[in-house]
Structure 1
Amino acid sequence: MGIKAIFLGTPQFAVPSLEAMAHAGHQILAVYTQPDRPKGRGQSLAMSPVKNSALALGLPVRQPERIRNTAIVEELKADAPDIMVIVGYGQIIPQSIIDIPRFGIVNVHGSLLPRYRGAAPIQWAIANGEHATGVTTMQINAGLDTGDMLLKAATEIDPNETAVELGARLAPMGATLLLETLTAIEQGTMIPIPQQDSEATHAPILSRLDAAIDWNWPATVIHNRTRGFFPWPGTATQFRGQTLRISKTRVSEDSTTHEPGRVLGAKGPLRVACGQSTVLELLEVQQEGRSRVSGTDLRNGLRIAENELLGD
């Protein structure tokens, strides 16, 4: 009945892979996911998307705070899986666990390795203005996304696509690739390909500091970061002494001689001068403690004048 596997994953990106394995008839011995975390204004405990999916599939769920705990390692040894699959689990896997399954550990990674190794490959690919990306299955080793590559699938990135939208497209691609990978491993036809470290780029975990906009950047750079970092950490600027969050933008074909950060025009859409004489239109924005509104509505509501400065 398929391959005996342990699945480790947490975010929505991992759900199609878990469901694909289950529906393909692989024997999933247990699903490991992050512990329930406080969420929302009420800070009530919320299950991860993978836990929700695993429970719906009738699979046993385990949620250790630290998977490297000795008792957890012994538990995994007792399970004696043929293989382990990781998709966005959220913890570093120690060598003591890597050595357990006879076929090793396979990871579904949201980039075309060795590019964008790290925790946020989808976000950084968009933020850096890449035109294409994809998914890679790889063999986990002790490094950070440095193991041998197994299979790849590529796709173009739409110029206005957000990280959420791209992730929703890559997730089922990763699930399909995972099933192909497991079949090849079972049949003994998989030929791992070592990564070339000289070609590697990195996608570090995002922080609130990444949200800050520098209006001296060209409009395209700000636009790419806005869609890449949506919904978190987003992009933001200071305006009239408060933080103004920006969730959707459009690069204008116009040019300007105004100082970067200056509001353009006396009325109409909220357009801002950027570096290299470029112009960015702010389509959706959010003041502190307020709901998200269109840039035009914000401009009308606050009576934002021509030449006011963002980022002051």
Structure 2
Amino acid sequence: MSDKKLNIIFAGTPEFAAKHLEHLIANNYNIIACYTQPDRPAGRGKKLQPSAVKKIALEHNIPVCQPQSLKTDEALDELSAWNADLMIVVAYGLLLPKAALDAPKYGCINVHGSLLPKWRGAAPIQRSVLTGDAETGVTIMQMDVGLDTGDMLLVEKCDITDQDTSSSIYEKLQLIGPNALTKTVDQIEAGTTTPVKQDDALATYAHKLTKQEALIDWTFPAIEVERAIRGYQPWPVAYTNLSGNTVKVLQAEIVTFSDKPAGEIISADKTGITVATASGAIKITQLQPQGKKPMSVTDFINGRADWVKPGTNLLVDAN
């Protein structure tokens, strides 16, 4: 029998959220219901697929609610009927109106993937890598009607190395987030939380990613291009145009010196495809042509050497 007293609703959708739900279940927290987005078509057959959170909830016989919106009277009545003490929101994907935030006794808390107030918004992990931040983390926040503006309840930090991609940071936060969450829930139950107001003057916004912004701009310095290659993984993935063909750039390294114009292919051999930038150059070592699997630069050049002739300027292809 659980010694945890709070009745908790969990709201989340992707794998990141599912990891937090699994941790709560494994540590015997009382999850009385799970909210997740409606099933979406996926795969070749475009059949409706349940979210990662729904799968975990069903495995543990936890009731699942999948409203299209939480703004209708019907959805709000259903939420209130659970008579929850607390709602935990992790990458849910639906906006919670004030009535939903106020429904549980202790309101709603959120696991946000940044060190608030830095990187409020939709893509905090990616923006932290793209900007070259030295650290990130998770902030457990008391939700309010603003966009990630609520009081901070607990912060856990982790380093960002110059090898990290957004995908690897996602995995790091997936490890530290669940423990930070349960620690916060325990503090709420014990009445020992120490909310800290965010300094709005220090706020930055992590705007939603688009496919277009992942097109490599060779007029940027090499350090920024290399960050983009790491920051846009796993989505939308940095890409460039080679001989009129869209090619994803998966791995690269910085070459500190270049005297060639930005965008010019300096060399192409088994060690990499080196492209000049505004400052320095980038040596591409792994690529993925459209419709193909990721491949080493050696395999790429073996079949497509004419795409990467030294002296070619990629800025011409980009326009």
Note whether the superposition's TM-score is higher than 0.5: yes
Match of 2:258 among 256, 259, 263: 256
Alignment correspondent of 1:275: 278
Alignment correspondent of 2:309: 305
Structure 2: how far apart are the matches of 1:107 and 1:207? 24
* Cα pair 2:286 2:294 within 8 Å, conserved: yes
The answer on 1:39 being equivalent to 2:28 is no
1:160 and 1:34, CA in 2 relative to 1: closer, same or farther beyond 3 A? same
Alignment correspondent of 1:173: 176
Alignment correspondent of 2:147: 144
Deviations 1:185-216 (A, max 9, x none): 11111111100000111111111122111101
- CA drift at 1:266: 5.4
* Cα pair 1:231 1:247 within 8 Å, conserved: no
Structure 2: how far apart are the matches of 1:259 and 1:300? 26
- CA drift at 1:4: 0.3
* Cα pair 1:114 1:196 within 8 Å, conserved: yes
* Cα pair 1:111 1:121 within 8 Å, conserved: yes
Q: Which amino acid aligns with 1:284?
A: Q
The answer on 1:14 being equivalent to 2:11 is no
Structure 2: how far apart are the matches of 1:65 and 1:295? 45
Alignment of 1:1-312 (within 5 A): 1=2, 2=4, 3-252=6-255, 254-265=256-267, 267-268=269-270, 269-276=272-279, 278-303=280-305, 304-311=308-315, 312=317
- CA drift at 1:123: 0.9
1:78 and 1:270, CA in 2 relative to 1: closer, same or farther beyond 3 A? same
Q: Which amino acid aligns with 1:225?
A: A
* Cα pair 2:274 2:284 within 8 Å, conserved: yes
* Cα pair 2:239 2:249 within 8 Å, conserved: yes
Deviations 1:101-135 (A, max 9, x none): 11110100111100010111111101111111011
1:42 and 1:248, CA in 2 relative to 1: closer, same or farther beyond 3 A? farther
- CA drift at 1:41: 3.0
SS in 2 for 1:178: helix
Structure 1: how far apart are the matches of 2:34 and 2:82? 12
Structure 2 unpaired stretches of 5+: none
Moved more, 86-95 or 237-246: 237-246
* Cα pair 1:137 1:178 within 8 Å, conserved: yes
- CA drift at 1:15: 1.8
* Cα pair 2:34 2:64 within 8 Å, conserved: yes
**Coordinate RMSD, CA, aligned:** 1.4
Q: Which amino acid aligns with 1:238?
A: N
Structure 2: how far apart are the matches of 1:301 and 1:223? 25
Moved over 6 A (4+): none
Structure 2: how far apart are the matches of 1:4 and 1:29? 6
Q: How many residues align?
A: 310
Structure 2: how far apart are the matches of 1:159 and 1:259? 26
Structure 2: how far apart are the matches of 1:21 and 1:188? 19
1:206 and 1:266, CA in 2 relative to 1: closer, same or farther beyond 3 A? closer
Structure 2: how far apart are the matches of 1:14 and 1:107? 11
Q: Which amino acid aligns with 1:52?
A: K
Structure 1: how far apart are the matches of 2:247 and 2:112? 33
TM-score (normalised: structure 2) = 0.93
Identity of aligned residues (%): 38
Structure 1 unpaired stretches of 5+: none
Moved more, 293-302 or 158-167: 293-302
SS in 1 for 2:205: coil
Structure 2: how far apart are the matches of 1:202 and 1:273? 31
- CA drift at 1:11: 1.3
Q: Which amino acid aligns with 2:290?
A: E
Deviations 1:20-78 (A, max 9, x none): 21122221111111111112333222222111222222211121111222211101111
